[in-house]
């Protein structure tokens, strides 16, 4: 009976992970690997990994992509491939919005942050990946991780040309996300370990 109780507790535990692999299709083709900052933004990391483990992000589009700024995705309510893309970016998950977990990590190229409305405590499921530094975002949006592999895939994501970065025509999409239980190691660190 004790084993059954322990197993049920484990099954209901959050899908904590320390990294993500995101398969992308469209103009961009490949996999993006993200090191998640679970110590910096534990509630936001838990939300992303829970939704990824549930498959909620599968076939969600990059609906807002602004050249030299960022690519936004993660609208699990209105941003799924095949839906009316006019509503993409307005939705979230079935879970409640999250309180801000701001940090002093600057918004540099490859940083992953949580999208939100004007209310700092309104992040839910949407996130964005930076193409370039954006100091005005520093301390204003929760940082959840950084790209450690596949920045070339990020760079190839179809840019928006519509109002506020809206993608016209078929947008690129995340086809699958995998939660990594160990910290992903950037390729240059792996190479350095092999040499030493």
Q: What is the pLDDT of residue 189?
A: 58
pLDDT in tens, 60-97: 999 999 999 999 999 999 999 998 888 999 999 999 99
Has residue 10 been placed in a domain?
Answer: no
Give the whole-angstrom CA distance, residue 180 versus residue 187.
16
> Is residue 165 in a domain?
yes
**Nearest alpha carbon to residue 127 among 51, 40, 183, 18:** 51
| pLDDT at residue 187 in the model | 60
Specify if 195 maps to a domain: no
**Sheet with 30-36: strands ordered across:** 60-61, 173-180, 19-25, 30-36, 143-149, 111-114, 127-130, 70-73, 64-66
What pLDDT, in 10s, does the model give residues 92-105? 999 999 999 999 99
Give the tens place of pLDDT for each residue, 134-145.
999 999 999 999
Q: Which CATH number fits the domain that encloses residue 178? A: 2.40.100.10
188 occurs within a structural domain: no
Residue 38 belongs to a domain = yes
**Would 5 be classed as within a structural domain?**
no
Q: Could you tell me what percent of the chain has a pLDDT over 70?
A: 86
pTM over 0.85: yes
Residue 8 has pLDDT above 60, yes or no: no
Q: What is the pLDDT of residue 162?
A: 73
Residue 2 lies in a domain: no
Counted domains in the chain? 1
Range of the domain at 57: 16-182
Q: Check pLDDT > 70 for residue 122.
A: yes
Segment 27-40, tens digit of pLDDT: 999 999 999 999 99
Please report which confidence band the pLDDT of residue 188 belongs to, taking 50, 70 and 90 as the band edges: low
**Residue 6 domain-assigned?**
no
């Amino acid at each position: 009976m004790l084993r059954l109780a322990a197993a049920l507790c484990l099954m209901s535990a959050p899908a904590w992970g320390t990294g993500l692999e995101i398969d992308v299709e469209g103009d961009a083709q490949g996999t993006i690997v993200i090191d998640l900052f679970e110590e910096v933004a534990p509630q936001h990391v838990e939300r992303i990994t829970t939704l990824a483990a549930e498959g909620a992000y599968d076939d969600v589009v990059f609906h807002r992509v602004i050249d030299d700024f960022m690519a936004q995705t993660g609208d699990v309510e209105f941003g799924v491939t095949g839906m009316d893309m006019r509503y993409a970016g307005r939705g979230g998950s079935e879970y409640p919005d999250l309180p801000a977990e701001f940090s002093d990590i600057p918004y540099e190229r490859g940083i992953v942050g949580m999208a939100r409305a004007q209310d700092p405590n309104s992040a839910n499921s949407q996130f964005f990946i930076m193409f370039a530094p954006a100091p005005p975002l520093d301390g204003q949006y929760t940082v959840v991780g950084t790209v450690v592999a596949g920045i070339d895939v990020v760079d190839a994501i179809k840019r928006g040309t519509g109002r506020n970065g809206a993608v016209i025509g078929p947008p690129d999409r995340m086809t699958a996300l995998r939660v990594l239980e160990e910290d992903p190691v950037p390729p240059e660190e792996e190479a350095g370990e092999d040499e030493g």
